[in-house]
């Protein structure tokens, strides 16, 4: 006896409820992101966690995950002409029902599955942070000899590529030379070490130059940042992970910029500075620092994208 319309409606409702109730578990949980397998794609969820000095802090920064996801989307769109990226959608309606719950709104990105290359691709356009400390000691940054007489926070004659290995949570990344990076990648991708390192270096510099110029026109200096790249199922080289967020970059206000001193920032350097000044904090931030941090993140997003969250 064929199903009645009412029976089919009930079956459809039950199926829908089963899909909604299907609980996805992250297969990867990083310092900030949780990654879920959605079959043909992955769902990257940027949490409100914040990390500094290789520790996850005890506080959460409300809306931080949304800022990171929407910022990455903005930059992926802007640089698609330079290198393809893994973004499919940030619209939760395109994702499995499970990710249409409120806690995933705005902070989730559906992405292509990539085999990630084992390298943090760091680019420095200005001398600051650990680079400045190294330069003061021996005139180099990550083994790269720089001109004499540079001041703190000064723009470099040309951006420099300073890759590092990817560390597990709690470990430190290790800076490597281009040649060392070739050998490192070669171990995982035999016969491809030089090719992939060259592609990563060239894409890193090209993306940085375009985005740094754009940001400067909108009142922000991108002092440095890091990218991650991967290979899709068809062998296409593309950028993955996050892109030019306040978590992965140093953003400085152009207004008031002056070489020779440290700069105020739109990124989590604000948190790092507070932690350095309060070594007994046990990685617990006061409410005032939390509020100022998310305000900085939102301000940077508004300046760059022209939109308010």
Q: DSSP string of 98-147?
A: GGGSGGGTTTEEEEE--EE-S-BEEEEEE--HHHHHHHHHHSEETTEE--
Decide: 72 and 87 in contact? Cβ < 8 Å: yes
Give the span between the Cα atoms of 13 and 191, in whole angstroms.
52
pLDDT digits over 153-167, tens only?
Answer: 999 999 999 999 976
How many angstroms separate the CA atoms of 136 and 130, rounded? 10
Query: What mean pLDDT comes out for the span 248-258?
Result: 95
Would you tell me the crossing angle of helices 64-79 and 193-217 to the nearest 10 degrees? Answer: 110
Whether this prediction's pTM lies above 0.75 is answered by yes
Q: How far is CA 105 from the centre of its chain?
A: 19
Q: Tokens representing 205?
A: 């510099």
- Lookup result for tokens 């899709």: 232
R_g over Cα of the chain: 21
- Residues with Cβ within 8 Å of 280's Cβ and at least 6 positions away in sequence, in order, are none
User: What pLDDT is attached to residue 309?
Assistant: 85
Residues 214-237: tens digit of each pLDDT? 999 999 999 999 999 999 999 999
Q: How far apart are CA 176 and CA 294, in angstroms?
A: 33
Do 227 and 204 touch, CB atoms closer than 8 A?
A: yes
- Residue 243 contacts residue 204 (beta carbons within 8 Å): no
Name which of 207, 244, 204, 227 is nearest 79 in CA terms. 207
What confidence category does residue 19 fall into, taking pLDDT thresholds of 50, 70 and 90?
Answer: low
pLDDT in tens, 180-213: 999 999 999 999 999 999 999 999 999 999 999 9
Q: In angstroms, rounded to a whole number, what is the distance separating the alpha carbons of residues 256 and 271?
A: 21
Lowest mean pLDDT among 4-8, 68-72, 226-230, 294-298: 4-8
Alpha-carbon separation of residue 147 from 9, 18, 150, 224, 287 (angstroms) = 73, 63, 7, 18, 42
Banded model confidence at residue 7, pLDDT cuts 50, 70, 90: low
Which position has the token pair 């599955």?
113
Beta-bridge partners for 196: none
Task: Measure the CA–CA gap between 309 and 70, rounded to whole angstroms.
Answer: 9
CB atoms under 10 Å from CB of 169, counted, come to 11
Q: Quick check: 304 and 220 in contact, CB under 8 A?
A: yes
Residue 272 has which token pair? 């790092």
């Amino acid at each position: 006896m064929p199903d009645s319309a009412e029976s089919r409606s009930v079956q459809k409702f039950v199926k829908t409820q089963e899909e909604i109730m299907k609980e996805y578990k992250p297969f990867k949980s990083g310092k900030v992101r949780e990654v879920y397998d959605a079959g043909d794609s992955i769902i990257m969820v940027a949490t409100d966690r914040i990390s500094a000095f290789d520790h996850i802090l005890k506080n959460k920064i409300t809306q931080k995950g949304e800022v990171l996801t929407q910022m990455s989307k903005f930059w992926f769109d802007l640089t698609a002409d330079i290198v393809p990226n893994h973004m499919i959608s940030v619209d939760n309606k395109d994702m499995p029902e499970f990710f249409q719950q409120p806690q995933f709104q705005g902070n989730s990105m559906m992405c292509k599955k990539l085999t990630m290359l084992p390298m943090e691709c760091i680019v420095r356009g200005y001398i600051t942070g650990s680079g400045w400390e190294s330069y003061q000691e021996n005139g180099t940054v990550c083994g790269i000899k720089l001109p004499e007489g540079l001041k703190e926070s000064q723009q470099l004659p040309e951006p420099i590529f300073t890759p590092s290995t990817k560390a597990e949570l709690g470990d430190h990344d290790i800076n490597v030379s281009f040649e060392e990076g070739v050998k490192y990648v070669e171990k995982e991708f035999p016969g491809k070490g030089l090719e992939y390192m060259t592609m990563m270096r060239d894409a890193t510099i090209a993306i940085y130059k375009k985005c740094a110029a754009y940001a400067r026109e909108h009142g922000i200096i991108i002092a440095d940042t890091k990218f991650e790249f991967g290979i899709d199922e068809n062998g296409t080289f593309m950028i993955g992970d996050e892109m030019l967020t306040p978590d992965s970059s140093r953003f400085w206000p152009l207004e008031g910029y002056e070489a020779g001193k440290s700069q105020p920032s739109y990124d989590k350097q604000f948190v790092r500075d507070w932690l350095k000044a309060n070594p007994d904090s046990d990685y617990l931030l006061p409410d005032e620092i939390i509020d100022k941090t998310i305000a900085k993140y939102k301000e940077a997003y508004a300046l760059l994208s022209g939109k308010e969250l």
